[in-house]
Amino acid sequence: MSKNEAQAREELIDLAADFYDQFAGGEIPEMELPTRTKSNIVFDEDSNVWVYGDRTSKRSANSVSGARKLLKAVYTIEFLSDQLEEGRSSTLRELYYLSESWDNEEAQFNSQDESNQLVEDLEIVSGVTREDFHMRPEESGATLMGPLELREQTRRGEREIHCQEDVGEGGYQIPNNPDMIDFLDHDIDFVLAVETGGMRDRLVENGFDEEYNCLVVHLKGQPARATRRITKRLHDELDLPVVVFTDGDPWSYRIYGSVAYGSIKSAHLSEYLATPEADFVGIQPKDIVEYDLPSDPLGDSDINALESELEDPRFQTDYWEEQIELQLDIGKKSEQQALASRGLDFVTDTYLPERLSDMGVL
Q: 92 φ, ψ to 5°?
A: -60, -40
Cα separation, 138 vs 145, in Å, equals 23
Q: Is 159 in the site for a copy of itself (CB under 8 A)?
A: yes
Q: Which stretch binds a copy of itself (CB under 8 A): 20-28, 45-53, 135-143, 254-262?
A: 135-143
Least separation in angstroms between CB 342 and a copy of itself: 6
Q: Is 195 in the site for a copy of itself (CB under 8 A)?
A: no
Q: Is 82 in the site for a copy of itself (CB under 8 A)?
A: no
Q: Which stretch binds a copy of itself (CB under 8 A): 42-50, 58-66, 200-208, 255-263?
A: 200-208
Q: Is 143 in the site for a copy of itself (CB under 8 A)?
A: yes
Cα separation, 356 vs 210, in Å, equals 16
Nearest CA to 161 out of 177, 144, 176 is that of 144
Q: Is 76 in the site for a copy of itself (CB under 8 A)?
A: no
Least separation in angstroms between CB 181 and a copy of itself: 8
Query: Can 52 be counted among the known catalytic residues?
Result: no
Output the CA–CA distances (angstroms, integers) from residue 76 to 14, 67, 191, 242, in the order listed: 14, 14, 38, 37
Q: Is 179 in the site for a copy of itself (CB under 8 A)?
A: no
Do residues 41 and 52 touch, judged by C-beta distance below 8 A? yes
Q: Which stretch binds a copy of itself (CB under 8 A): 42-50, 70-78, 148-156, 253-261?
A: 148-156
Nearest CA to 216 out of 234, 229, 237, 239 is that of 234
Q: Is 350 in the site for a copy of itself (CB under 8 A)?
A: no
3-state helix, strand, coil in the chain (%, to 5): 50, 20, 30
Identity of the residue, 280 or 291, whose beta carbon is nearer to a copy of itself in the bound complex: 291
Per annotation, catalytic residue among 97, 253, 261, 272: 97
Which of residues 1, 236, 344, 358 is near a copy of itself by CB under 8 A?
344
Site size for a copy of itself (CB under 8 A): 57
Do residues 146 and 171 touch, judged by C-beta distance below 8 A? no
Do residues 45 and 276 touch, judged by C-beta distance below 8 A? no
Least separation in angstroms between CB 336 and a copy of itself: 9
Identity of the residue, 105 or 318, whose beta carbon is nearer to a copy of itself in the bound complex: 105
Q: Is 229 in the site for a copy of itself (CB under 8 A)?
A: no
Q: Is 167 in the site for a copy of itself (CB under 8 A)?
A: yes
Residues 6 or more apart whose Cβ sits within 8 Å of residue 335:
196, 247, 248, 249, 283
DSSP letter string, 76-97 = HHHHHHHHHHTT--EEHHHHHH
Q: Is 133 in the site for a copy of itself (CB under 8 A)?
A: no
Torsion angle in degrees (nearest 10) through CA of 213, 215, 220, 224:
-160
Cα separation, 308 vs 288, in Å, equals 21
Strands 56-60 and 30-34: antiparallel
Residues 238-297 that bind a copy of itself (CB under 8 A): 294
Q: Is 227 in the site for a copy of itself (CB under 8 A)?
A: no
Cα separation, 314 vs 43, in Å, equals 8
Q: Is 89 in the site for a copy of itself (CB under 8 A)?
A: yes
Do residues 118 and 76 touch, judged by C-beta distance below 8 A? yes
Which of residues 29, 146, 147, 175 is near a copy of itself by CB under 8 A?
175
Identity of the residue, 294 or 353, whose beta carbon is nearer to a copy of itself in the bound complex: 294
Which of residues 13, 40, 67, 97 is near a copy of itself by CB under 8 A?
97
Give the residues lining the site for a copy of itself (CB under 8 A): 88-91, 93-95, 97-98, 100-101, 136-141, 143, 152, 154-156, 159, 161, 164-176, 180-181, 196-198, 201-202, 205, 207, 210, 294, 335, 337-344
Q: Catalytic residues, which ones? A: 97
